[in-house]
């Protein structure tokens, strides 16, 4: 595992290890790091490998990873694609179906029987009809919440690719069209106690781990993954489609206590 949002590191690791497969997640969870898909694709292909992009947080509405040179794109359809927190599903897509690696995936799917149930498929069809609208609203809301948090005295740091001074913003602008997604993180001033108190005081945000649904969620990531270096003061938000003034007012009352 390496931070491939650092493109110099991505290039030297590819040259050094000649990987068969490079797997990136952009924007990443919970740091919201942006990895330049086109440059990593170039470095991967120069080393003879294939690039897989987990673009779950971006959704296919905001980032078309195959257009930037990815060989396979992955989405957890459990998240934004379904958007109603009532389906478990996933998507892999390629534009090179004759590739032997893709053939191996297709054969395994067929033989292992990893086929979605008809009810879940129907729920997804229903959901996808509103996907562009939901992503547009969630991204607008998330942008406004990120800006609100950035200007708040009780907040130490905000992680959101839509903020002009956030690392990776210029790359995100290039490979995300129409918004920067629903996911953001922020550190409250203080530590675990302060962060947990803010999470506990929020009324509109449900305390839950998923993301990309119509309802806003908050989680204390350190509690979920204590050994991965995530600060105790960090809260991750998944912003939904609610009235953004209600969301900011809820954060305001939770932060000023
Ligand atoms: C949730 C998630 C997954 C896993 O997807 P499931 O549908 O829960 O199996 C993979 N990647 C990212 C970025 C996710 O958010």
- Each residue's pLDDT, cut to its tens digit, for the chain (257 residues) gives 889 999 999 999 999 999 999 999 999 999 999 999 999 999 999 999 999 999 999 999 999 999 999 999 999 999 999 999 999 999 999 999 999 999 999 999 999 988 899 999 999 999 999 999 999 999 999 999 999 999 999 999 999 999 999 999 999 999 999 999 999 999 999 999 999 999 999 999 999 999 999 999 999 999 988 898 999 999 999 999 999 999 999 999 999 97
Ligand 1 binding pocket includes 92 (Cβ within 6 Å): no
Q: Which atom, in ligand 1's list, is nearest to the CA of 211?
A: 15
Ligand 1 binding pocket includes 36 (Cβ within 6 Å): no
* β-bridge pairing 21-25 and 50-54: parallel
Q: What is the pLDDT of residue 45?
A: 97
Q: Which atom, in ligand 1's list, is nearest to the CA of 56?
A: 13
Q: 44 lies in a domain?
A: yes
Q: Residue 98 C-alpha to ligand 1 middle, in angstroms? A: 26
Q: What is the 3-state secondary structure (H, E, C) of 80-111?
A: CCCCCCCCCCEEEEECCCCCHHHHHHHHHHHH
Cβ–Cβ under 8 Å, residues 144 and 9: no
Looking up residue 57, the CATH number of its domain turns out to be: 3.40.640.10
Residues 150 and 68 both lie in one domain: no
Number of domains, the chain:
2
> Residue holding tokens 């497969």?
21
* β-bridge pairing 72-76 and 183-188: unpaired
Residues 93 and 107 both lie in one domain: yes
Instruction: Pull the structure tokens for residue 106.
Output: 């297709």
Ligand 1 binding pocket includes 85 (Cβ within 6 Å): no
Q: 185 lies in a domain?
A: yes
Cα angle: 237, vertex 240, 243; to 5 degrees: 115
Q: 108 lies in a domain?
A: yes
What is the sign, positive or negative, of the torsion defined by CA atoms of 186, 187, 192, 195? negative
Cβ–Cβ under 8 Å, residues 96 and 102: yes
Of 128, 162, 186, which residue constitutes the final position of a domain? 128
Q: 2 lies in a domain?
A: no
Ligand 1 binding pocket includes 56 (Cβ within 6 Å): yes
Of 113, 128, 143, which residue constitutes the final position of a domain? 128
Q: 1 lies in a domain?
A: no
Domain that holds residue 174: 132-256
Residues 122 and 176 both lie in one domain: no
Residues 41 and 74 both lie in one domain: yes
Q: 190 lies in a domain?
A: yes
Of 109, 128, 147, which residue constitutes the final position of a domain? 128
Q: 213 lies in a domain?
A: yes
Q: Residue 76 C-alpha to ligand 1 middle, in angstroms? A: 5
Alpha-carbon distance of 238 to 22, in angstroms, equals 27
Residues 192 and 225 both lie in one domain: yes
């Amino acid at each position: 595992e390496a931070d491939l949002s650092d493109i110099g590191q991505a290039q030297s690791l590819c040259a050094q290890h000649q990987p068969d497969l490079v797997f990136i997640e952009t924007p990443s969870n919970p740091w919201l790091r942006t990895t330049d898909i086109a440059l990593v694709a170039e470095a991967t292909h120069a080393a003879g490998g294939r690039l897989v992009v987990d673009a779950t947080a971006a959704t296919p509405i905001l980032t078309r990873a195959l257009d930037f040179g990815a060989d396979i794109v992955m989405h957890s359809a459990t998240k934004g694609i379904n958007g109603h927190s009532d389906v478990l599903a996933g998507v892999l897509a390629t534009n090179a179906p004759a590739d032997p690696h893709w053939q191996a995936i297709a054969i395994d799917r067929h033989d292992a029987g990893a086929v979605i149930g008809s009810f879940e498929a129907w729920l997804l069809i229903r959901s996808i009809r509103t996907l562009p609208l939901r992503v547009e609203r969630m991204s607008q809301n998330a942008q406004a919440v990120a800006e609100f948090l950035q200007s708040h005295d009780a907040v130490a740091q905000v992680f959101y690719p839509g903020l002009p001074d956030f690392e990776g913003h210029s790359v995100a602008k290039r490979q995300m069209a129409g918004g920067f997604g629903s996911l953001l993180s922020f550190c409250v001033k203080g530590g675990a106690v302060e962060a947990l108190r803010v999470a506990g005081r929020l009324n509109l945000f449900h305390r839950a781990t998923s993301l990309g649904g119509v309802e806003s969620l908050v989680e204390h990531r350190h509690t979920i993954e204590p050994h991965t270096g995530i600060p105790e003061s960090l809260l991750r938000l998944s912003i939904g489609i609610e009235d953004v003034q209600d969301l900011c007012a809820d954060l305001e009352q939770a932060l000023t206590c």
